[in-house]
Amino acid sequence: MNKQQQMQDILKDTIDYYNEDPVNRRSVTDDGDCMYTWGNKHCAVGRYLRKEYQDETWDGNNQSANELSTNTDDGDWNIDWCLVENVHGLDVNFWSRLQDIHDVIGNWEEWHEHRDGVRKYGLTDRGKEEYVKFQDKIAEGIYDND
């Protein structure tokens, strides 16, 4: 699988995962701070962290993807050191943008609509626009880091 397809798949999986129930799936503290791990919840990037880093007490738990990135021998920046192996080699800017999708509360409907017992969860119109823009940027090669 090429990197663009892998990024599209990760993005879709992320949107589908949080779209189902953002209130109970997003990794947000009681104070509204987004963390990689909070309890047994993980944020968009946190879901791809190695198990040893999926812990509330981890020093990097509230850092940005850019803050976690390290400079490699070839001069690129990446966060592969803390991610599961099957997602290595993706641009840190991709991870940062993926995290933004999770973190921006305006992307998610987090209220209940009790019409006929139906809960209203999912992406807001703004969130849907961000999702499509992100898909387009991946397709354009913005995150290819070649």
pLDDT in tens, the chain (146 residues): 699 999 999 999 999 998 888 778 888 888 878 888 888 899 999 999 999 999 999 999 989 888 888 876 666 778 999 999 999 999 999 999 999 998 888 888 755 555 555 656 788 889 999 999 999 999 999 998 75
* Other residues' Cβ atoms within 10 Å of the Cβ of residue 84: 13
Q: What is the pLDDT of residue 29?
A: 83
Q: What is the pLDDT of residue 74?
A: 67
146: in domain:
no
**H/E element, 134:** helix 125-140
Closest CA to 45 of 24, 62, 21, 70: 62
* Other residues' Cβ atoms within 10 Å of the Cβ of residue 33: 12
Asked if residues 121 and 23 have their Cβ atoms less than 8 Å apart, the reply is yes
Q: Which long-range contacts (CB under 8 A, 24 or more apart) does 15-20 make?
A: 15/101, 15/123, 15/131, 17/47, 18/44, 18/102, 18/108, 19/121, 19/122, 19/123, 20/121, 20/122
Q: What is the pLDDT of residue 141?
A: 95
108: in domain:
yes
Q: What is the pLDDT of residue 85?
A: 96
Q: What is the pLDDT of residue 113?
A: 54
Q: What is the pLDDT of residue 143?
A: 93
72: in domain:
yes
The parent domain of residue 31 ranges over: 3-140
Q: What is the pLDDT of residue 106?
A: 85
Q: What is the pLDDT of residue 22?
A: 79
Closest CA to 12 of 123, 117, 89, 106: 123
User: How many structural domains is the chain composed of?
Assistant: 1
